[in-house]
Chain A
Amino acid sequence: MLEKALKGTKTYWTLVISIMVIMGVAFLFYLRQYHYGLGVTGLSRDVTWGFYIAQFTFLVGVAASAVMVVLPYYLHNYKAFGKITILGEFLAIASVIMCMTFIFVDMGQPFRILNVFLHPTPHSLMFWDTVALGGYLLLNIIISRVVLDAERKAIAPPGWIKPVIILSIPWAISIHTVTAFLYAGLAARPFWLTAVLAPRFLASAFSSGPALLILLCLLLRKYTRFDPGKEPIQKLALIATYAMAANVFFILMEFFTALYSDIPEHLMHFEYLFLGLDGKTNLVPWMWTSEILALIALVLLINPGTRRREGTLILACVMVFISIWIDKGMGMVVGGFIPNPLGNVTEYMPTFTELMISLGVYAMGLLLVTGLYKIALSVRGEVRA
């Protein structure tokens, strides 16, 4: 089946090769980081995790969101998702691989990473996160392969795959929950020490993931013969709407607890993110952008008129995606480090090298999505000649 990714039009190959060029350039930057050390990043003694780990966190959400198409289709037999379920699963595969790569590039000693398995440590959440992500990747590879293979042969998928698919549903929830637990269990970081972190992660994932899937479907419709139809897109939009509403609700819960309890240790992180602390305001414009986009997107999504009109739906999806990307990919991780446990304010901004390496990882994800979607569409004969 993989050979289907290797036959394509000129446009397809132009896309593939451009992505590979970006990856190649990014790899050179990674070599630089590998030889010099993580000092090439903007990280410091006070802000020890930054852009890489934040992208990892964000992408775990995208990966988990596949469950939003898998669950209705397989559990509720919602036939309209038949065409896009495989796209959700392939997006999950690409996202998990990006997650793993982001972890890899964040390691100080990347080639010792096997130590996590050589010395399995059940009391470390990082161990469980590795297990959860690895398992999820495996599940999705098996499921998508078996289902697509059956489709190609025009037969029903084998019966044993059903329980595997059912298993993948709670597993998807677990990857983002465990990722939230990486943060939410640390006495040292009051900003993350909140029980609503895992639910909030899930809500933001279930809105940003479907929003991305809508955009991908519409892109495919534009450039290939694939047509998801109106119904699944609208259903995805509805899912994104509810999830976004829940996400904004959880954010407001966070604000209430921090502001009303008025505990300085907790409050100071919010202060840093939204007002700035000690005159340091790097993230303030970002955070406000994120919140404002979230609110506008919510209005556009809740209002049935704007949700149904494609133009405004696309706008809303882009806003949801950017808003949540800023929230998780910039504010959530870095905000937990500022101020540091001693009350010192050290700011952080990713360096050019860091951004280039991250771009390379995203390019790799895009390459995977392109290749995998190509396979899916070729199997169904939906590729434009």
Chain B
Amino acid sequence: MKIDRRKFIKFTGLTAIGLAGTPAARAFTGEDSLLVNEAGRQPSVENPLTAKRWAMVINLKKCIAQDGCTKCIDACHTVHNVPDFGNPKDEIKWIWKESFEHAFHEQEHEFINEALKHAPTLVFCNHCDNPPCVRVCPTQATWKREEDGIVMMDWHRCIGCRYCVVACPYGSRSFNWRDPRPFIKELHPDFPTRVRGVVEKCTFCEERLARGLMPACVEACPEKAMVFGDLEDADSEVRELLRNNYTIRRKPSLGTMPEIYYII
């Protein structure tokens, strides 16, 4: 099933060839680079997207400019059957906007640009390279997939002890305090629904990658503010962006090694 690294480079390379300018510009030209597949091949289980270490680069400037946009959030929550309870106590969210001062409170200071301070900052699971949630889980219901670094969840094994929620320094995890099914707006039959009593979070869309599709949030963003790719591939778009921009991560001092990078 796995496509080899060379093929993958070819895929990302082909994507880039069609675009002009510097690599950084390339990533943000607004062209639909994500759905272009090799030689007209359709995304399918025969052509999954694979990587050594998946990572995301978020261009916060672009995202903030789209005031009030929730396209990525809606896309994610719709395809993943994330319920909407309409109250903060039961709330479940995989991706959401947090004010900059909360998402990055180590970076915040008294005289920080007011706009930035309250800027809605996209946050979700960082798929940490050294994930504390995985370390604490007593059943390995959450684990790091070694081949590509995705922090996975097994909703059939999870006992709902919530130790992982306690251990995550980013508040990325949600617990099903009650039966979520009646609160799913529109049911997507190709993705499992969860039961009460288990923990869930962003899965980097591993189920879409397996079908050759980019993550739903990445695909939904009209600004191409989210770029997804292989960190181990020096020619990947994410690596280009990291080379050419100043990027920050959330709470890097904790040693969790988050794999979401922000261009501010």
- Interface positions of A (Cβ within 8 A of B): 36-39, 43-46, 48-49, 103, 106-110, 112-113, 115-116, 118-119, 121, 123-127, 130, 182, 186-189, 337, 340-344, 346
Contacts and interface: CB of A to CB of B under 8 A. Distances in A.
Interface string B157-170: 11111110111111
Nearest to A111: B159
Contacts of B175: 38, 45, 48, 108
Interface stretch (B5-13, B132-140, B220-228): B132-140
Given A108-B196, A121-B138, A121-B139, A186 B166 contact: yes
Contacts of B159: 107-110, 112-113, 115-116
Given A48-B175, A108-B176, A124-B137, A344 B196 contact: no
Nearest to B163: A126
Given A48-B175, A109-B160, 18 more contacts: A36-B178, A37-B176, A37-B178, A43-B177, A44-B89, A44-B91, A48-B166, A108-B175, A109-B159, A110-B159, A113-B159, A123-B135, A124-B137, A186-B136, A188-B166, A341-B169, A342-B102, A342-B105
B256 A187 contact: yes
Given A49-B166, A188-B168, A115 B141 contact: yes
A45 B98 CA distance: 15
A106 B161 contact: yes
Nearest to A183: B166
B140 A121 contact: yes
A123 B136 CA distance: 7
Interface secondary structure of B, over-half rule: loop
B39 interface: no
B168 A341 contact: yes
A40 to B, nearest CB: 8
Interface in B93-144: 98, 101-103, 105, 132, 135-141
A293 B182 CA distance: 48
B198 interface: yes
Contact of B169 (A108, A119, A187): A187
Nearest to B141: A115
Nearest to A130: B138
Contacts of B256: 187
A116 B102 contact: no
27 contacts: A36-B179, A37-B176, A39-B89, A39-B90, A39-B178, A44-B90, A44-B91, A48-B166, A108-B198, A108-B199, A110-B159, A115-B157, A118-B139, A121-B138, A121-B139, A124-B137, A126-B136, A126-B163, A182-B163, A186-B166, A187-B169, A187-B254, A188-B132, A188-B170, A337-B166, A342-B103, A343-B105
Nearest to A344: B102
Contacts of B88: 44-45, 346
A342 to B, nearest CB: 4
B255 interface: yes
B123 to A, nearest CB: 8
7 closest residue pairs by CB, A with B: A108-B160, A108-B197, A39-B177, A37-B196, A188-B169, A39-B178, A126-B138
Contacts of B169: 187-188, 341
